[in-house]
Amino acid sequence: LRSLEEVDEEVFELVEREKERQFTSIELIASENFASCAIMDCLGSCLTNKYSEGLPGKRYYGGNEIIDQIENLCKARALEAYGLDPSEWGCNVQPYSGSPANFAVYTALLKPHDRIMGLDLPSGGHLTHGFYTLDKKTMNRKAVSATSVYFESLPYKVHPETGLIDFEELDKLATVFKPALIVCGGSAYPRDWDYAKFRQIADANGSLLMMDMAHISGLVAAKEANNPFEFCDVVTTTTHKSLRGPRAGMIFFKKDARGFEDAINNAVFPALQGGPHEHQIAGIAVQLKETMTDSYKAYIKQVKANIAALGARLVDDYGYSLATGGTDNHLVLWDLRPAGITGSKVEKICDVCQITLNKNAVPGDISALSPGGVRIGAPAMTTRGLVEADFVEVADLLHEAVQLALKIQDSMTSKKLVDFAKALDGHPEVAALKDKV
């Protein structure tokens, strides 16, 4: 019963330093958030001690009476949070995280080497939707994602000019490729999803339709985004992004004669996972209760207002460019190519100044290795209480960071990122900007 500080000073120190970093920096990673103390209580609770392989009422270990109640409560709240009728939809709350949730769906509904179409990684998709790279030695394509190793994947893309999903190309490719599954959803797509269009293409080609709503599951719960459940066969999500729960995953499936329920439950366990993480599941339950409150709905509205305010400041007042021209959700993709600097350099200078964001490919980028932009999200800082005026100030700081990065870049002969990083070290203007942040 001794505390972490007493047992292991070294790890304690590191945790304290990370806490300090998280709470003193401006956190703009679009996939991150701050879990509540109530969730932290679940994660640090005795539930972490328990094995509960199987489903509530059908476990492989004894002592699961209370665990069953926790998992059933979580499942009931998951359906309620998304307005789903339990006779039509079921859910599995055991996936350890978003990637295992997606792979469980593929394992359940596809045969090895079946065909999948998901949004390409450089277009804003996620690795688990299928991704290849070019092997420079053989000049053959090389599967990076297990989705592309075990299934045949043909990614679709956004239009290089508009940045919007290129439905015309998707339609053409799907007609020839005949995917068993089309995946919508992404990690860096600033616009809402046209599920009716995806459904139309899926139906025309006999494909199942899955939405990975990981990034926007909070927006969907708050009815601040289109509803994927109206059109999709399966919906997956992480629980730690805009939803603001613990790190975990969930799968929602249609309950009908196609037998998704058993297939998905069996894919999660015993096919892919062992004992579920009931401490996470309790945390999801707590968060789902919160998503049904007025204050959570107000939070999500504020997330959208905040990122819109930041985007408008960058475009209208400073003349920068955003992919697709703006945003419908919680993130913007800032295209830095017209400004003359790479996303990597901007990420680097922001890091030094304690502004956390990530470099990101933008529509039309030739190489994903040197991304032309950065991704900025509002969920975390909105949790910390920032409103539109604060996000305008954040945009001002970002503008200063970019202008300083350009100035430093212009003063250098080397174009290398390592040399740029060295030049930031001890630079008086960078130090001044850090102090301001």
> Closer CB to ligand PLP, residue 97 or residue 409?
97
Stretch that binds ligand PLP, among 62-70, 97-105, 198-206, 406-414 (CB under 6 A): 97-105
| Residue 17 annotated to the active site | no
The reply on whether position 212 binds ligand PLP by CB under 6 A is yes
- CB 99 to ligand PLP: min, Å: 3
Q: Please report, as a single letter, which amino acid is at residue 253.
A: F
| Residue 316 annotated to the active site | no
Q: How is residue 73 written in tokens?
A: 């409560």
Q: How is residue 203 written in tokens?
A: 């139906």
SS3 per-residue string spanning 234-264: EEEEECCCCCCCCCCEEEEEECCCCCHHHHH
The reply on whether position 92 binds ligand PLP by CB under 6 A is no
The only residue of 115, 126, 345, 375 in contact with ligand PLP, by rule CB under 6 A: 126
The reply on whether position 123 binds ligand PLP by CB under 6 A is no
| Residue 61 annotated to the active site | no
Stretch that binds ligand PLP, among 11-19, 181-189, 192-200, 226-234 (CB under 6 A): 181-189
- Sketch the per residue contact string, 232 through 261, with ligand PLP: x for CB under 6 A, - otherwise: ------x-----------------------
> Closer CB to ligand PLP, residue 126 or residue 359?
126
> Closer CB to ligand PLP, residue 225 or residue 309?
225
| Nearest one of 213, 144, 201, 149 to 177, comparing CA atoms | 201
The reply on whether position 97 binds ligand PLP by CB under 6 A is yes
The sign of the CA dihedral 352, 358, 364, 366 is positive
| Residue 241 annotated to the active site | yes
- Which residues 6+ apart lie within 8 Å of 192 measured at CB? 225, 226, 328, 329
Got the DSSP string for 63-128? Answer: --HHHHHHHHHHHHHHHHHTT--TTTEEEE---SSHHHHHHHHHHHH--TT-EEE-B-GGGT--GG
The reply on whether position 191 binds ligand PLP by CB under 6 A is no
The reply on whether position 265 binds ligand PLP by CB under 6 A is no
- Selecting among 27, 32, 120, 212, the annotated active-site residue is 212
The reply on whether position 358 binds ligand PLP by CB under 6 A is no
Tell me the sheet residues that pair with 91: 252
The only residue of 99, 217, 291, 302 in contact with ligand PLP, by rule CB under 6 A: 99
Residue 423 CA to residue 417 CA, distance in Å, equals 10
The reply on whether position 304 binds ligand PLP by CB under 6 A is no
Residue 80 CA to residue 287 CA, distance in Å, equals 12
The reply on whether position 122 binds ligand PLP by CB under 6 A is no
Q: Please report, as a single letter, which amino acid is at residue 13.
A: E
The only residue of 124, 185, 228, 377 in contact with ligand PLP, by rule CB under 6 A: 185
CB 213 within 8 Å of CB 185: yes
Got the DSSP string for 343-355? Answer: HHHHHHHHHHTTE
| Residue 328 annotated to the active site | no
- Selecting among 191, 199, 241, 254, the annotated active-site residue is 241
Beta-strand relationship, 331-335 and 373-377: antiparallel
> Residue ranges of the alpha helices (H) in 154-244?
167-177, 195-204, 217-221
The reply on whether position 360 binds ligand PLP by CB under 6 A is no
| Residue 247 annotated to the active site | yes
Q: Which helix (H) or strand (E) holds 395?
A: helix 388-410
- Sketch the per residue contact string, 29 through 58, with ligand PLP: x for CB under 6 A, - otherwise: --x---------------------------
Q: Which helix (H) or strand (E) holds 133?
A: strand 132-134
The reply on whether position 214 binds ligand PLP by CB under 6 A is yes
Residues that bind ligand PLP (CB under 6 A): 31, 97-99, 126, 128, 185-187, 212, 214-215, 238
Catalytic amino acids? Answer: 51, 53, 212, 238, 241, 247
